[in-house]
Structure 1
Amino acid sequence: MKAENALTTSPPSYEKISNVLKLQKITLADIEDFTGAERDYLGEITTEMLQQLKGEERDNYINKIAAIIHPSTNDQIWEQNHFVIGRAITKLIGQYGAMPPKFAIARETGLSRQTVAKHLADYKAHPQYHAEMEQFKYLAPNILAGVCKRACNGDAKAARLYFEMVGALNQQQPSTVINEQNNYIQINNTILSQENLKQLSKEQLNQIEHIISGIGGK
């Protein structure tokens, strides 16, 4: 028991960690004999490097340690990228009044253009994006309560917004039958369908349009 405790509490071998960091690409096999302390220290170093590197150097480093990155660290990297890209887009639109190009976003964020392009193309499919949207939904009752409070204090615009919001929340999805459109007009026992209209001449269509316009003008 004492031997096991000594092993788990022994200081990390900095030489072993340094040798692993010199590799072009680190795999799980390269750190399989690392102690808990050595894994923790390696994690601290890689995190610090990620914070310092920018652009393609950062991309290359992430690719180098990809096999040993913990899933939670990957989520943190994505969240950081998402945050700085969003902030950069907002800032640049405010400055220039137009959607900034990817190279401008990359320059503003310190990310590579490839990272920016990939994030913008794939962010909606990432699990963290769906989690972020759930956070916004979580705040909906609080916002609704705030609108309701202003409406009760006599704010007419807030009252109108409140009823719109409540209506949207209570709106039910229509059934398949309701969603179906009847693409025809029935006048007494006469049915005028879309297929019938295709068979009419231009003059006949003009006559129908003239009749309908006359009804609408009365």
Structure 2
Amino acid sequence: MQTQSTALTANRTPVKKKIEHILSLDTITFNDLEGLDHHERRKLTLAANRTLNKLKGAERDVFLAKITPILPADSRTQLWENNHVVITTAITSYIHEYGIMPAKGAIAEQTGLSRQTVAKHFNDYKTHPELLAEMEQFKFMAPRVLSTVFRSAVNGDMRAARLYLEVSGGMDKQTTGTVVTEQNNYIQINNTILSQENLKQLSAEQLRQIEDIVRKDEGVILRQM
């Protein structure tokens, strides 16, 4: 039994040395993997992932540059998506706590990414294929959102109705702007009408009294023309 265990250890040692040698290279290319079988390549992938997860900042950038030539396309996409998620989460958390947009250094500290990686992500994200694909997902969901707006509109939500008409083209924005500009608000208390011009001439105490009446008196009518 001991002999069998010793043999297995001996068999693992060359594999471990191969992997350590490859990971010690300045840049890893597919030529460096030619001598590895499927099992050894899988071991190399696991070792590279463990190393990458331990590194932060500039050291992480150096290691990524080392293994980038052998990374498959889906792995590169996954790395970009991961960076995008952690950067977005860090920004959201910082704004929630401090009420301001964080500097790139603060984002780097929060995410474990280097400042250079954060800056590059900001510079490149607008044209990145994954962002374009994400925006297409939002466009794909637009009809469902519009359906929700429509349901709110037919149930009496006038803001939803206005939004639905504007988005669907059922309302001319130029005409709408003209109507709003010419809108005239007034308050009617029994047979007495107070227009906007009347209200402007009232004192603060008089306006407060009218507000109290509006809250309490069901006979008060607020109208728009």
Over residues 61-111 of structure 1, what are the superposed CA-to-partner deviations in whole Å (9 max), with x where a residue is unaligned? 101111111111111111111111111112212222222111011111111
1:18-29 aligned within 5 A: 18-29=20-31
1:108 aligned residue (107, 110, 124) = 110
Tell me, which stretches of 5 or more residues in structure 2 are unaligned? 1-10, 171-225
1:15 is aligned to 2:17: yes
1:1-218 aligned within 5 A: 13-167=15-169
TM-score, normalization by structure 2 = 0.66
Over residues 176-200 of structure 1, what are the superposed CA-to-partner deviations in whole Å (9 max), with x where a residue is unaligned? xxxxxxxxxxxxxxxxxxxxxxxxx
Over residues 123-178 of structure 1, what are the superposed CA-to-partner deviations in whole Å (9 max), with x where a residue is unaligned? 1121111111111111111111111111122211111111122129xxxxxxxxxx
Tell me, which stretches of 5 or more residues in structure 1 are unaligned? 1-9, 169-218
The structure with the largest alpha-carbon Rg is 2
Question: How far off is 1:42 after superposition?
Answer: 1.5
Say which is worse superposed, 63-72 or 46-55, in terms of deviation.
46-55
**Matched residues, percent identical?**
50
**How big is the alpha-carbon RMSD for the aligned residues of Structure 1 and Structure 2?**
2.0
Q: Which residue pairs with 1:199 in the alignment?
A: none
Say which is worse superposed, 68-77 or 39-48, in terms of deviation.
39-48
SS in 1 for 2:101: coil
Question: Does the Cα contact within 8 Å between 2:28 and 2:69 map onto a contact in 1?
Answer: yes
Question: Does the Cα contact within 8 Å between 2:22 and 2:32 map onto a contact in 1?
Answer: yes
